[in-house]
Amino acid sequence: MSLFKTEYDSQPDDFLEKSMSLVASALSDPSRISILCALMDGRAWTATELSAVAGIAASTTSGHLTRLLSNGLVICLTQGRHRYYSLAGHHIAGLLENLMGVSMHTHASPTPRTPVCLRYARTCYDHLAGELAVKIYDFMLQEKWLEADGTALTTAGKSQFQNVGAVLNPRPRRKACCPCLDWSERRFHLGGDAGSALMMLFLQKEWITRVQGYREVKVTKSGRMAISRLFSLNLS
């Protein structure tokens, strides 16, 4: 008989089930979902900004944020007199993206109802999503920048990232590279540290610009030319 007990063993038998139900309950309100979707653009928002996005009163927003905080879905950062809210991490963004995919699923062939501009290019927390991101991912697989399962950059891929100026973290605290299921395209785009590095490059080069208050991003004229050249795409 083992004399050692894990932390989980010391919890009540239904601890995990209750914890999951609390998180599910926190996600059950449309206003809280609106708040979380706004935070999917990777930026920190004030409660006032979030109340405007969700279309609810400031006092109501405060209650929703407290619920999301208590369940570990968002974090709060204080800077001077201001408080900023953001998603608690990449794992929460992944959870929301997967939830979107499940919510859109039907047994028949789905008819896309996502706005065209959002479906084409948007943020998925700190990396690029949408039709454009899927095409870039397909190119990287075809040109063997990525391993066949998409879980790592190849030596050639790392070299290509360095050549274009995308800075990779040598010791990432999360997955260095991973396929992320795109909920509107139902195919993969690039996630992980590599996906973040690529979107950061696009923003720094002003190849894409954010749309204030939304997840949508716009591809600039110089961006269309550069992205077309780098990834052999026709973006005209």
Q: Is the pLDDT of residue 5 over 50?
A: no
Domain boundaries, the chain: 15-88, 107-231
Q: Is the pLDDT of residue 29 over 50?
A: yes
Q: Is the pLDDT of residue 6 over 60?
A: no
29-32, Cβ contacts within 8 angstroms, sequence gap of 24 or more: 29/64, 29/67, 31/55, 31/56, 31/60, 31/61, 31/64, 32/64, 32/67, 32/68
pTM exceeds 0.85 for this model: no
Q: Is the pLDDT of residue 41 over 80?
A: no
- Stretch 147-162: mean pLDDT: 94
Of 139, 147, 150, whose CA–CA distance to 231 is shortest?
139
pLDDT at 215: 81
Q: Is the pLDDT of residue 135 over 50?
A: yes
Tally the residues of the chain. 236
Q: How far apart, in whole angstroms, are the C-alpha atoms of residue 30 and residue 15?
A: 26
DSSP codes joined into one string, 33-72: HHHHHHHTTS--B-HHHHHHHHT--HHHHHHHHHHHHHTT
pLDDT at 107: 43
The residue ranking higher by pLDDT, 159 or 49, is 159
The SS3 assignment for 31 reads helix
Q: 204 pLDDT band (50/70/90 cuts)? A: very high
CATH topology of domain 15-88: Arc Repressor Mutant, subunit A (1.10.10)
- CB-CB contact of 154 with 145 (8 Å): yes
- What mean pLDDT is reported for the chain? 85
Q: Is the pLDDT of residue 231 over 80?
A: yes
Task: Say which DSSP state 179 is in.
Answer: E
The residue ranking higher by pLDDT, 160 or 106, is 160
- Stretch 190-197: mean pLDDT: 94
The SS3 assignment for 118 reads helix
Lowest mean pLDDT among 38-42, 135-139, 225-229: 38-42
Q: Per-residue pLDDT tens for 57-107?
A: 888 999 999 999 999 999 998 877 888 899 988 888 888 877 876 775 544
